[in-house]
Amino acid sequence: MLGLGTLGPAACSRSADDRFSGTVQAPSAAVGSPIGGRVTEVAIADGQRVRAGQLLVRFDDAQQAALFENARQQAGAAAAALADLRAGARSEDLARAGDQTRQAHETFERARLSESRQLTILAGQLTQARAQLADALAGAKEAHADAIRSRRLFASGDVSGQQNDAANARDLRTHAQADAARAGASNAQWELEQAQTVTLPRDIAASRAAYDAARNAYRSLAAGARPDAVRQAAAALAAANGSVANARARLDDTAVRAPADGAVSAMNLHVGDLVAPGASVATIDEDGEPFVRVYLPQSMLGRIRVGAHVAVHPDSQPGLALDGSVEQIDEQAQFTPQSVQTAEDRATLSFGVKVRIHDREHRVHGGTTATVALP
């Protein structure tokens, strides 16, 4: 993703030899994780250089690791069921399939029974968090009213400065406590909703699928290995392997890594922070080629075209000339009077031009200025 900050038409300067200035923008990528969660490791600092694939942030992976292990066990059971079918029905095979069916059923029943207990616990935590929030809001309201009254009394000389400062400090402290309680209630609400709509239904569905697969495998084995039964077991194994791959991917998503070489910016995380799924945790200013956007009057548009080469002179390095290529020319003028009737009006029409700077040695830095010389 490229940074799109630009320099406005009024900020571009034009010299006698057709030179136009703009701000250099470097490519950057906002990185995060679709999983999110609680931060357990921050491996880099703001401003640090990183290599592609380097660990940036790690989230708590206990839940995802358990899901991955559960998926692996289910895939192993599916593979065993398919092997048993293909080997033919034997008494020991039939007994083993019966055991697997019972175990899968017990796992499913435990998942169903634990659902209500977990929801009760989470609902209780939410109720407690909301009660704490209500107490905090009431305390903040009372402290705010006291602070307002104290300021009036202080202005009239009825209370000391020390008393007034204490009232104002309590106002700030209780409002901070209310903000923390609000965040806690929001987090408790999110955890309950996740359990209701994602985690618990997924776990129950997975255990039910494993139970159904084991039961069907037992019935098929008891009836004899038929081609359709073998195909069904193979499909169950394929689905279980897909679940393993999905669980592995989600486990990998608990580690946020740099997508490319570059420098870290916009990084402000600490161990214990809770990050929402999909939220950006840092920005990587990549080592790709930067660009500069300049604004040309309409009278100059005939001298350039997309793909044309121009000279770029970084203002940070006088005397250096880099090759640039026109990557984009705006279709619409940046300033269009309501009625273009005079030569003066037409002269104010400016068009943005994006120029890619070919700088393989990374001599130009984002945020500096550069001058583009038209051919």
Q: Is 268 exposed, middle or buried (0-12, 13-18, 19+ CB in 10 A)?
A: exposed
> What are the DSSP E strand ranges found in 181-290?
255-257, 262-265, 274-275, 280-286
246 and 121 inside one domain: yes
Label residue 12 by pLDDT band (50, 70, 90). very low
Q: What is the CATH number of the domain that holds 43?
A: 2.40.50.100
pLDDT of residue 79: 94
Task: Considering only residues 349 and 232, tell me which one the structure prediction assigns the higher pLDDT.
Answer: 232
pLDDT of residue 244: 94
Q: Is 96 helix (H, G, I), strand (E, B) or coil?
A: helix
pLDDT of residue 9: 39
pLDDT of residue 7: 36
Give the lowest-confidence range in 2-16, 86-100, 157-171, 317-331: 2-16
Label residue 95 by pLDDT band (50, 70, 90). confident
Structure tokens at 334: 């940046």
Task: Considering only residues 191 and 113, tell me which one the structure prediction assigns the higher pLDDT.
Answer: 191
What is the number of other CB atoms lying within 10 angstroms of the CB of residue 228? Answer: 8
The C-alpha atoms of residue 126 and residue 188 are separated, in whole angstroms, by 5
155 and 91 inside one domain: yes
Give the lowest-confidence range in 99-103, 330-334, 352-356: 330-334
Structure tokens at 142: 């009372």
Mean pLDDT score, 252-267: 90
216 and 298 inside one domain: no
82 and 164 inside one domain: yes
- Does the pLDDT of residue 76 top 90, yes or no? yes
280 and 302 inside one domain: no
Give the lowest-confidence range in 121-125, 271-275, 287-291: 287-291
- pTM for the model stands at 0.45
202 and 175 inside one domain: yes
pLDDT of residue 194: 85
Q: Is 263 helix (H, G, I), strand (E, B) or coil?
A: strand
How many separate domains does the chain show?
A: 3
90 and 228 inside one domain: yes
Mean pLDDT score, 276-289: 87
134 and 237 inside one domain: yes
Give the domain-ending residue among 285, 300, 330. 285
Mean pLDDT score, 93-110: 84
14 and 36 inside one domain: no
Q: pLDDT for 311-324, tens place per residue?
A: 999 998 888 999 99
The C-alpha atoms of residue 263 and residue 47 are separated, in whole angstroms, by 6
Q: What is the CA radius of gyration of the chain?
A: 32
Q: What is the CATH number of the domain that holds 299?
A: 2.40.30.170
CB 12 within 8 A of CB 369: no
- Does the pLDDT of residue 350 top 70, yes or no? yes
What are the two backbone dihedrals, phi and then psi, of residue 244, each rounded to the nearest 5 degrees? Answer: -65, -45
With a CB cutoff of 8 Å and minimum separation 6, the contacts of 18 are 300, 303, 373, 374
The four Cα atoms 314, 315, 321, 327 give a dihedral, to 10 degrees, of 40
Enclosing domain of residue 309: 9-27+288-373
Decide if 3 is inside a domain.
no
Q: pLDDT for 216-242, tens place per residue?
A: 888 876 776 678 878 899 999 999 999
Decide if 1 is inside a domain.
no
